[in-house]
């Protein structure tokens, strides 16, 4: 994987980003900078604007206004160049159900321009790495949700991207699979890649990420490093609940 210099542009730079649906701003004036080589967690309650933001970063939803720059290149003007250098794991794993896992990963490698022999060899190695090689003829439509997440992540790695955009990559994955995927992602960061992920599992984010931003009602309400949170003697859960205004006392029901 290509080594990067800390002096060059951020992996992600977003300025005053807005996305409006009808009269509702799903993302409202979001500005964000993610340095290269970091593991960045993007958090928020349901409906806060996380998935809308990551869809705009992926080029799946055009912004209403504002600017996006990935790896120093403007989106969407340089979308094709950008997409050659990023790996995507969307929330909905849009896979080809009537291919095997190996065939799908090889297909993605070919889409990224890999030679057929190289794509096939890397597909085989990724199946083994993600422990999906036990039933090589099994079709994706027979996969569990966790297996689908594994194969989606494997496909995202095949062209050795510099930046990963991941929306809930651990959803539906069992503990063993999640541990395997975490270790692989941490190894990618050690080799210079940047990972930007959303997750509802705060313990995962707290363990993996070196920096987090919390979005609520389309706006960033808190951003900082995990080290800063720990210095404040606060867990990520404490910071999250306080930032989104949910730290009020819980009401109880007399009959419950």
Give residue-wise pLDDT tens across range 32-52.
999 999 999 999 998 899 999
Confidence at 245, pLDDT banded by 50, 70, 90:
confident
State the pLDDT at residue 5: 45
Give residue-wise pLDDT tens across range 51-75.
999 999 999 899 999 999 999 999 9
Confidence at 2, pLDDT banded by 50, 70, 90:
very low
Give residue-wise pLDDT tens across range 144-159.
988 999 999 999 999 9
Name the segment(s) of the chain with CATH classification 3.40.50.300. 26-33+40-85+163-249
State the pLDDT at residue 7: 47
Is the whole-model pTM more than 0.85? yes
- 4 neighbors 188 (Cβ within 8 angstroms): no
Higher pLDDT, 175 or 249: 175
- Which CATH code fits 26-33+40-85+163-249? 3.40.50.300
Give residue-wise pLDDT tens across range 178-235.
899 999 999 999 999 999 999 888 888 888 999 999 999 999 999 999 888 777 657 8
Confidence at 3, pLDDT banded by 50, 70, 90:
very low
- Give CA angle at 87 (33, 195), nearest 5°: 40
Residue 196 backbone class (left: φ over 0; alpha: ψ -120 to 50; beta: rest): beta
State the pLDDT at residue 15: 97
Inter-helix orientation angle 145-157/116-129, to 10°: 140
Give residue-wise pLDDT tens across range 18-32.
999 998 999 999 999
Give residue-wise pLDDT tens across range 107-129.
999 999 999 999 999 999 999 99
State the pLDDT at residue 201: 82
| 20-85-113-159 Cα dihedral, nearest 10 degrees | -120
Q: Which two tokens stand for residue 251?
A: 């009401």
CB atoms within 10 A of CB 88: 21
């Amino acid at each position: 994987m290509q080594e990067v210099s800390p002096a060059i542009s951020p992996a992600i730079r977003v300025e005053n980003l807005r996305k409006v649906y009808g009269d509702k701003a799903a993302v409202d004036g979001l500005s964000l900078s993610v340095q290269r080589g970091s593991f960045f967690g993007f958090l928020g309650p349901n409906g806060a604007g996380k998935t809308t933001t990551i869809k705009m970063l992926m080029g799946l939803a055009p912004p209403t206004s504002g600017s996006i720059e990935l790896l120093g290149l403007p989106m969407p003007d340089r979308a094709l160049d950008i997409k050659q250098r990023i790996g995507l794991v969307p929330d909905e794993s849009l896979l080809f159900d009537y291919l095997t896992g190996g065939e799908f990963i090889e297909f993605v490698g070919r889409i990224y321009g890999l030679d057929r022999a190289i794509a096939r060899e890397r597909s085989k190695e990724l199946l083994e790495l993600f422990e999906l090689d036990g039933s090589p003829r099994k079709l994706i439509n027979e996969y569990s949700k966790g297996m689908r997440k594994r194969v989606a992540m494997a496909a995202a790695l095949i062209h050795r991207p510099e930046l990963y955009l991941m929306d809930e990559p651990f959803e539906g994955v069992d503990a063993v699979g999640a541990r395997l995927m975490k270790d692989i992602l941490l190894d990618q960061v050690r080799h210079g890649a940047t990972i930007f992920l959303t997750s509802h599992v705060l313990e995962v984010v707290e363990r993996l990420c070196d920096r987090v931003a919390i979005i609520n009602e389309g706006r960033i309400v808190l951003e900082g490093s995990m080290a800063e949170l720990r210095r404040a003697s606060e867990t990520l859960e404490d910071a999250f609940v306080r930032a989104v205004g949910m730290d009020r006392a819980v009401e109880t029901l007399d009959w419950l």
